[in-house]
Chains A and B, each alone.
Chain A
Amino acid sequence: MEMLNIKINGKDYQVEKNTTILEACNKFGIKIPTLCYLKEINEIGACRMCLCEVKGARSLVAACVYPIDRDGTEIFTNTPQIRKYRKTNLELLLSNHDKKCLSCPRNDNCELQKLCLEYGVDETKFQGEETKYEEDHTTLHLVRNNNKCILCRRCVAACKNQYVSVIGANNRGFDSEISCAFDLELGDVPCVSCGQCTVVCPTGALVERDDTDKVFDAIADPAKHVVVHTAPSIRATLGECFGMPIGTNVKGKMVAALKLLGFDKVFDTNFGADLTIMEEGTEFIQRFTTGGTLPMITSCSPGWIKFCEHYYPDLIPHLSTCKSPQQMQGAMIKSYYAEKAGIDPKDIVVVSVMPCIAKKFEIQRDDQGRDGMQDNDISISTRELAKMIKTAGIQFTELEDEEFDPLMSVGTGAATIFGATGGVMEAALRTVADVLTGEDLKQIDYNEVRGTDDIKEATYEIAGNTVKVAVTSGLKNAAKLLDEIRAGKSPYQFIEVMCCPGGCVNGGGQPIQPGHVRNFTDLKALRAKALYDDDLSLTYRKSHDNPEIKAIYDDYLEAPGSHKAHELLHTSYVERGVKYGK
């Protein structure tokens, strides 16, 4: 590897040849402002915020895409000229920006706003015509307000990276806009509702649909019994919204905060995840031993399911018929819990806290819920829960740990790792291996399926059977495995797909980290580590060992895959196809 001697702001450094100025500066503790840059997926040098001076170059250069390729390069990142250019750039962006910051959902967490503060801009410097867009409220999961858009194209890159590409840059010049083909609304294009666009948007142009008022209203209604449950990965990420380090497990504080918010019961969706493994594991063994459709693909991730329905509808028979943990948990709350507690399920409001905004879509899908009732009534994201905690004045970091409420309080280690890519597969293997061998196996770490590689594969010998599995996250990667199945060349029996790159820890509803953190921190791995550590710390690490799961089958569901289990815990899918327009 060729090393170059360079100078940054007069100080000597050594860097590998072809490192970008942005990467080099980050390494040496100099933060360069960026708005459009997203490592690996949006390296287009468009926003011009990262302009730096290279001695001898004809003009200022974009640090994010400028490779340092010669020895002796002298770089300046903070001259009066650079500061002036960056400031003017921001003022020009503001000249066509809806500046109602106080009522913007991204107020206090907006990258444009932060830079404006750092550079001391005059927001009224350039006044003139402004583009006016109608807000798009046509989907269940997000709201688009193009009046806040700065055309950085991060959302376009994120959408393309998911192999969906329903948004892009259209028209030109002053009329340029990020929109859907033929001016269609988001509700009329095959968007899979993953929400990755909301996580990367630097401003308030793309935000999750805010359902927090519905939750506050339900809690305030004395006639309603409001039950909340929280997905595995929330405990690994919620702390970030309160300034805690990335990867802090805040399970106890989260439960305490939910109780303070006034929920009548606080359950752990990990229980639902364990239930999913019991059903999905059983389904897999049945398909595997009776010549059913293989490979079987996991069905926990509603964005992934919608993707399959739109773009690979012919492969629907490969999807497990199991509902997701959210939906299983909701179904059990409105049946098993309602019966145990003697409450009419019609009076129960089930709120789920999810790392995902596709879950807002999933709760309203057909063939979920029964008797005209949804399994879950409201689904909120990690970000919305943080907002509720702040609104209620709860001092999150000061809270003493509390425990989930019994009946659905125990989640095993297998359930907690559902939040990371590979987790569902590992959890299923722990149970499937015990069932097929009839033993209580001690070697239960399936390291081959862990980590954030695009596609992970492994072959396991279980009780004389060879099981070949693959794990992937991010729809671009999933598409590769699906194309193999279509071509009749898939060597696998069992595949786990999670919609968002890295799995739920990097879901569309997770805390928003600004570009400079996303680009230079392995968010997915740090957050996943909190879950794998949690797994190690738990008494039960296999779903079928969960005493509350044993109880629900003994008392209520009879056996995994029983008629009753099918009625409550399984679902069906729709061939949507790639359809544009109403």
Chain B
Amino acid sequence: MQKKISSIPFSGTPEQEAKLKEAIAAHIDDPGAVMPVLQEAQEIYGYLPIEVQQMVAEGLNVPLEEVYGVSTFYSQFALSPKGKYNISVCLGTACYVKGSGDILNKLSELLGIDPEECTPDGQFSLTACRCIGACGLAPVLTVNDDVYGRLTVDQVEGIIDKYKNA
């Protein structure tokens, strides 16, 4: 799947930048430093916007395009930030045959975003994930650390409302 590029303005802090610089300094002499530095950058910022990737590119003296190529090849890297509430829908085999695809579509429709995107107000992000090992509860989704199982499409709106009003 093509990576979604966030349009939400970047809001990095000087502390985050200092941490990233440390990570770059720690890896600068390693061959293939791009991947570990990107991993640490994602730990620091939660995602990898152009501003962060440019710092990585400059710091490691590799072209931005090369950094971006790595960040779009591996599914673990995100170009979009996570919302205050990250809704993760399991698309593992058991959940999928039990209709989690429809649940994902409903969430997408209600939130007005595609999977791997974040709502403009930063409240909700949507992720399609692989099996989370709760097949007995299929279909299942998580909102941050809360787990919701044996779902039907018409329960979805109520779950979102709970967090909207939280």
Binding site for B on A (CB under 8 A): 160, 164-172, 175, 180-183, 189, 580-581
Q: Do B1 and A181 have beta carbons less than 8 Å apart?
A: no
Partner of B63, one of A166, A170, A175: A166
Q: Is the CB of B73 within 8 A of A168?
A: no
Q: Mark B60-86, 1 if CB is under 8 A from A, else 0.
A: 000111111100110000010000000
Are the CB atoms of B69 and A175 closer together than 8 Å? no
A479 to chain B, nearest CB (A): 12
Known: A165-B65, A181-B67. 7 other contacts (CB 8 A): A166-B63, A166-B65, A170-B69, A170-B72, A180-B65, A182-B5, A189-B65
A171 and B53: CB pair below 8 A?
no
- Docked complex Cα distance between A171 and B69 (Å): 7
CB < 8 Å: which of A172, A175, A181 contacts B65? Answer: A181
Known contacts A181-B53, A580-B54, A581-B50; A171 and B66 CB within 8 A of each other:
no
* Total chain B interface residues with beta-carbon distance under 8 A: 17
Q: List 27 A-B contacts (CB under 8 A).
A: A165-B63, A165-B65, A165-B66, A166-B65, A168-B63, A168-B66, A168-B68, A168-B69, A170-B65, A170-B69, A170-B72, A170-B73, A171-B2, A171-B73, A172-B72, A180-B65, A181-B50, A181-B53, A181-B64, A181-B67, A182-B5, A182-B50, A189-B65, A580-B50, A580-B54, A580-B64, A581-B50
Residues of the A chain whose Cβ atoms lie less than 8 Å from the Cβ of B50: 181-182, 580-581
Q: Is the C-beta of B3 less than 8 angstroms from some C-beta in chain A?
A: yes
Known: A175-B2, A183-B5, A580-B54. A170 touches B68 (CB 8 A): yes
Q: Which residue on B lies nearest to A173, using beta carbons?
A: B1
Closest to B6 in A: A182
Minimum CB–CB distance for A484 against chain B, Å: 17
> Please, which residues of chain B bring their CB within 8 A of the CB of A169?
69
Interface centre among B1, B5, B64, by most chain A C-beta atoms within 10 angstroms, is: B64
Bound: A580/B79 CA distance, A: 16
Bound complex: CA of A181 vs CA of B63, how far in Å?
A: 9
In the complex, what distance in Å separates the CA atom of A238 from the CA atom of B151? 70
Contacts of A164 in B (CB 8 A): 63
Is the CB–CB distance between A167 and B2 below 8 Å? no
Tell me the nearest residue of chain B to A579, going by C-beta.
B54
- CB < 8 Å neighbour of A171 from B3, B54, B65: B3
Residue of B nearest to A181 (CB): B68
Let me know if A182 and B68 touch, CB within 8 A.
Answer: yes
Contact mask for chain B residues 18-50; partner A; CB cutoff 8 A; 1 contact, 0 none? 000000000000000000000000000000001
- Distance to closest chain A CB from B13 (angstroms): 22
Residues on B with beta carbons closer than 8 Å to the beta carbon of A189: 65
Beta-carbon contact of B1 and A175 below 8 Å: yes
Contacts of B63 in A (CB 8 A): 160, 164-166, 168
Shortest Cβ gap from B50 to chain A (Å): 5
Question: Taking CB as reference atom, which chain A residue is nearest B68?
Answer: A181
CB distance from A167 to the nearest CB of B (A): 6
Complex Cα spacing A170 to B53, Å: 14
Binary interface encoding of chain B residues 79-114 relative to chain A, with 1 for a CB under 8 A from any of its CBs, else 0: 100000000000000000000000000000000000
Which residues on the B side are within 8 Å of A183 (C-beta)? 5
Q: Which residues of A contact B1 (CB under 8 A)?
A: 175
Q: Complex: how many Å from CA A175 to CA B66? A: 17
CA distance A129 to B52 in the complex (A): 34
| B135 smallest CB distance to A (angstroms) | 26
Tell whether, in the assembled complex, residue A172 and residue B67 are in contact, meaning their CB atoms are under 8 Å apart.
no
CA–CA, A172 to B66, complex, Å? 14
What residues of chain B lie closer than 8 Å to A180, measured between beta carbons? 65
B79 CB contacts on chain A under 8 angstroms? 182
| Complex Cα–Cα for A189 and B66 (A) | 14
Q: How far is the CA of A170 from the CA of B50 in the complex (A)?
A: 14
Q: Whose C-beta in chain A lies nearest to the C-beta of B53? A: A181
> Which of chain A's residues has its CB closest to B73's CB?
A172
CA A168 – CA B1 in complex, angstroms? 17
Bound state CA distance, A180 and B68, in angstroms? 9
Which of A164, A167, A172, A182 has most chain B Cβ within 10 Å? A182
Interface-centre pick from B53, B54, B65 (highest chain A CB count, 10 A):
B65
Chain B CB within 10 A, most for which of A167, A172, A181, A580: A181
In the bound complex, how far is the Cα of B73 from the Cα of A175, in angstroms?
10
Complex: how many Å from CA A165 to CA B61?
12
- Tell me the B139-165 residues at the A interface (CB within 8 Å): none
Q: Chain A residues with Cβ under 8 A from B69's Cβ? A: 168-170
Nearest 5 interchain pairs by C-beta? A165-B63, A181-B68, A168-B65, A175-B2, A168-B69
- Are B5 and A167 neighbours in the complex by a CB distance under 8 Å? no
Chain A residues lying within 8 Å of B72, measured Cβ to Cβ, are 170-172
Rounded to whole angstroms, the CA-CA distance of A189 and B63 in the bound complex is 11
Task: Give the distance to chain B from A312, nearest Cβ to Cβ, in Å.
Answer: 14
CA distance A166 to B69 in the complex (A): 11
What separation, in Å, do the CA atoms of A302 and B43 have in the docked complex? 42
Report the Cα distance A175→B72, complex, angstroms.
Answer: 10
Q: Whole-angstrom distance from the CB of A480 to the nearest CB of chain B?
A: 15
The answer for the CA separation of A289 and B64 in the assembled complex, in Å, is 42
Minimal Cβ-Cβ distance residue in A for B67? A181
Could you tell me the distance in whole angstroms from the C-beta of B111 to the nearest C-beta in chain A? 22
- B19, chain A: closest CB distance, angstroms: 23
Query: A221 to chain B: closest CB distance in Å?
Result: 43
CA distance A165 to B34 in the complex (A): 16
The answer for the CA separation of A580 and B68 in the assembled complex, in Å, is 13
CA distance A153 to B72 in the complex (A): 17
Instruction: Report the Cα distance A180→B66, complex, angstroms.
Output: 10
CB distance from B52 to the nearest CB of A (A): 11
- CA distance in complex: A189, B5 (Å): 17
| CB nearest neighbor in B for A160 | B63
> How many angstroms from the CA of A506 to the CA of B63 in the assembled complex?
25
Report chain A residues within 8 Å CB of B73.
170-172
* Minimal Cβ-Cβ distance residue in B for A184: B50
- In this complex, what residue of A is CB-closest to B54? A580
CA distance A170 to B71 in the complex (A): 8
Expressed in whole angstroms, the minimum distance between the Cβ of B121 and any Cβ of chain A is: 23
Residues of A within 8 A of B65 (CB): 165-168, 170, 180-181, 189
